[in-house]
Structure 1
Amino acid sequence: MTITQTPVAEAVRLTGARRVYGGGDQAVVALDDLTLGFAPGTFTAIMGPSGSGKSTLLQCAAGLDRLTAGTVHLGGVDLGALNEQRRTVLRRDRIGFVFQAFNLVASLTAAQNVELPLRLAGRRPAAAAVRAALAEVGLADRAGHRPSELSGGQQQRVAIARALITRPEVVFADEPTGALDTAASREVLGLLRAAVDGHGQTVVMVTHDPVAASYADEVVFLRDGRIADRLGGPAGLPGRAEQIAALMTRLEQR
């Protein structure tokens, strides 16, 4: 069956997004009539206090969770109109994921982990493409190493190569630097920034770290499942991390 798609100017758009967990007196509203779009070729950071809806937004936008009400469109496809099988295929073919926990397969080499999305899609990975993906994240000489033989930063770089090898429409990153030291975090954030600037990739990143958020083109602040504030401006601008931290502090004090 062909997926119906309409041309749009945004890579992902949530419209009137509402997600409620539980019912009655125990109901928890994680997203509350939220409308937000992500333009192609941009890097957006999502921030907010604990319980603000950051992870729920990412999961619903990526088709990992279903909205209670509202819509999510990925490249013009209404995710709510797809059954689970078609959503799985769409995620595999058109979305990349980078998680805090790396999620590499321990028994596979770095090269085999990078190949995995293509193999799962029934495609034969080109060895040159895998080598190029690893070279792009600075791991050309680690292709035969397993995750246990790599540092945390190197494992996350393998995860980024795996996410990007299919040239997905969107990469969703959930606290990608949460388990890394400062130097490794900068490397990973630089790679995500380079994917946007060099390949026109769309990146949506959930983070609690103002320094990580400073790499983004825009920072969207959530509170109680709603957009509480937004900050645009050039990524990497001097003092930007401090500005983001100040906005977060004010948000947490409301």
Structure 2
Amino acid sequence: MTTPMVAIKELRREYDAGPGPVTALDGVTVDLAAGTFTAVMGPSGSGKSTLLHCVAGLDRPTSGEVTIEGVRLGELDETGLTVLRRERIGFVFQAFNLISSLTAAQNVALPVRLAGRRIDPADVNAALDDVGLADRAHHRPVELSGGQQQRVAIARAMVTRPAVIFADEPTGALDNQTSRRVLELLRGLATGRGQTIVMVTHDPVAAAVADSVLLLADGRLVDRLDGASAEAIAARMTRAEATC
């Protein structure tokens, strides 16, 4: 049996709030194969972002286990987690998180430079070319459209060829046409490069681009839809919201 790229076992996350703890994740268990594109959906407060943050090593779960490419995150100290995130994980966020004073090329190179390594300019140019922005390498974020900024963020996430790319609402601030292009880029990373993509989204149309959709409700994994249409995903989401 092939070892999963991402293995999540009995993941639980509680937060201290008010008179007692609040359970954000309640025993989530799922395996994600290498080269797959997975969307995570659920009603507001279902635990989507908490799951992404725990699996990506941005937050520590209360209990349970996350393994990425054979590495158990719970066995790493903060330094180890930082190294893992820099070398094996890519991030794409709704807010782009580009540095305004840096050019597109400099933003793409930033993760490698923060890791204290030299980066070949050819790798930066290739990443920008892959997202259709080779001619915008010397433009700063203010000179780029929202869609172009998100594509720079994707180039930044992919330049180190990470094992997994985590995307948190990557199309939330974009119009429909630009969203489609961003989703096509993410789809291509999984299909063409064999990278594993995990995307949190509220949009059934975006989720339908993925291979599988994980549906959360009240911190629990309540369904997994494989190859579902946007209509089927929307209908299942409606049922989930009605029970919350």
Structure 1 and Structure 2 fold alike (TM over 0.5): yes
Q: Deviations over 1:163-205 (max 9, x none)?
A: 0000000000000000001111001000000111110010000
1:190 corresponds to 2:179: no
Deviation at 1:13, TM superposition (A): 1.1
Which of the residues 131, 135, 139 maps onto 2:129?
A: 135
Secondary structure at 1:185 match in 2: helix
Is the CA contact 1:8–1:76 (under 8 Å) kept in the aligned structure 2?
Answer: no
CA distance in structure 1 between the aligned counterparts of 2:152 and 2:4, rounded to whole angstroms: 28
1:211 corresponds to 2:191: no
Residue 146 of structure 1 is matched in structure 2 by 140
Q: Which runs of 4+ in 1 moved over 3 A?
A: none
Gaps of 5+ in 2: none
Gaps of 5+ in 1: 1-6, 235-239
Residue 239 of structure 2 is matched in structure 1 by 250
Residue 31 of structure 1 is matched in structure 2 by 25
5 Å-filtered alignment, 1:1-254, equals 9-22=3-16, 25-233=19-227, 240-254=229-243
Q: Deviations over 1:39-87 (max 9, x none)?
A: 1000000000001010000000000000101111111111111111111
Secondary structure at 2:19 match in 1: helix
Q: Deviations over 1:188-232 (max 9, x none)?
A: 000000111110010000000001001000001000111111110
Deviation at 1:26, TM superposition (A): 2.7
TM-score (norm 2): 0.97
214-223 or 26-35: which moved more? Answer: 26-35
TM-score (norm 1): 0.93
CA distance in structure 1 between the aligned counterparts of 2:121 and 2:27, rounded to whole angstroms: 46
51-60 or 225-234: which moved more? Answer: 225-234
- Aligned Cα RMSD in Å? 1.3
Is the CA contact 2:208–2:227 (under 8 Å) kept in the aligned structure 1?
Answer: no
Deviation at 1:31, TM superposition (A): 0.5
